[in-house]
Structure 1
Amino acid sequence: MEQDPLSALRDIHLPDPGGFWPPAPGWWVLFALVLGLAVWVVVVVRRKHRRNRWLKTALAELTTLAAHKQPDPRWFNELNRLLKRAARVKFPQRRPESLSGEAWVSFLTETSPRQTADDQARFRSLVDSCWRPNPESNPQQAISAARRWLEAQRC
């Protein structure tokens, strides 16, 4: 009994498809790039948050001062101190805490590019109100100018 040798051959078949693991080298490169980008974004966001932490604290203190506003030299002095503490954090090399009078008004004006001439007058009035027994400055305008100055310092 002779058999046909061709009948013993099997038909052509494709190999089983590969699994999803391990991924191809291109996917590893893409994963590394995405991971690096995610780490970079987290570092940048944390750094920015850390740099602006003082601003959040200063704005909270400003809100507290605004809730208790009164045309009193002590109140204007507290607002002035708040601005000096914030300026010391933002501009430590310029030593703003040592400034007073017209030098302090000039510093506030030149360090905030969005301020107007009206704000310079408000800053001058705020500084003068710290020393006058009966301040003529409007507390609401002083708070408004201080808030704009603080928000202009955001990194």
Structure 2
Amino acid sequence: MQDPTLLLRDIHQPPAPPFWPPAPGWWLLAGAGLLVLGVVMAVRWERAQRRRGIAAIFDSAVAEAPTPVDEVAAISQLLRRAARRIDPSADRLRGDAWLEFLDRHAGDGRRRRRSGAADGGFAGAPGRLLLEGAFRPEIDVDPADVAALRSLARARFQQWMAAK
């Protein structure tokens, strides 16, 4: 038997795990997080490149137009091409039906009112240039209206061309 006077020590706890290096599970979690971050960044970069390319197509086609009347014609042609992505028969619309289509398919998830002047749509003064601007004498076309139409049409063109 054992001697009762023998000094016994209590069971001791193991030392706490060190902070570094982390356990393998944390390495896997960090790797998965970096992978997800890389994929998200790659997708965003690709979308930005696509948006820049679409904007360059619009800008170069409009810049090639020598006169404001030709700019309006180029803008109309680009919008009709892009509208075919939304509705295959959209390029055949004429007059107010065409302007209503441009306002209705704003792509922002809500229906637009038809009063173009109130919400900056195509039914307002800049959008009316699409109906008659290409047929007006050059003196009647206001460059400020053409610039307003260009910015409105550029946004809609990018919106429609970026849609899948």
Which residue identity lines up with residue 8 of structure 2 in the other structure?
L
Q: Distance in 1 between matches of 2:143 and 2:84?
A: 23
Partner of 2:23: 21
Equivalent residue letter for 1:70:
T
Please list every run of 5 or more consecutive structure 1 residues that lacks an aligned counterpart in the other structure: none
**Contact 1:76/1:129 (8 A) holds in 2:** yes
Q: TM-score, normalised by structure 2?
A: 0.55
Distance 1:107 1:11, change over 3 A: closer
2:93 corresponding residue in structure 1: 99
Corresponding residue for residue 87 of structure 1: 83
Counterpart CA distance in 2 for 1:75 and 1:58 is 17
Shift of 1:58: 4.1
> 1:27-46: per-residue Cα shift (whole Å, max 9, x none)?
79xx49x74xx47x829x83
Does the alignment pair 1:137 with 2:141? yes
Aligned length: 141
Quick one: higher RCO (CA 8 Å, sep 6+), 1 or 2?
1
Compare CA radii of gyration and give the structure with the larger one: 1
RMSD: 4.4
Partner of 2:116: 116
Q: TM-score, normalised by structure 1?
A: 0.57
For the 8 Å contact 2:63–2:71, the answer to whether it is kept is no
| Structure 1 residues 47-62: aligned runs within 5 Å | 50=47, 53=50, 56-62=52-58
Name the SS of the counterpart of 1:122 in structure 2.
helix
* Paired-residue identity, %: 30
> Aligned partners of 2:7, 2:92: CA distance in 1, in Å?
100
Alpha-carbon distance in 2 for matches of 1:18, 1:131: 81
**C-alpha displacement of 1:22:** 4.7
**Matched-pair contact (CA < 8 Å) for 1:77–1:130:** yes
Corresponding residue for residue 7 of structure 1 = 6
**Matched residue type, 1:42:** V
In structure 1, C-alpha distance between the alignment counterparts of 2:24 and 2:47, rounded to whole Å: 40
What is the deviation of 1:7?
Answer: 2.8
Quote the offset at 1:14 in angstroms.
1.9
Which aligned pairs between 1:59-74 and structure 2 lie closer than 5 A? 59-64=55-60, 65=62, 70-72=67-69, 74=70
Matched residue type, 2:43: R
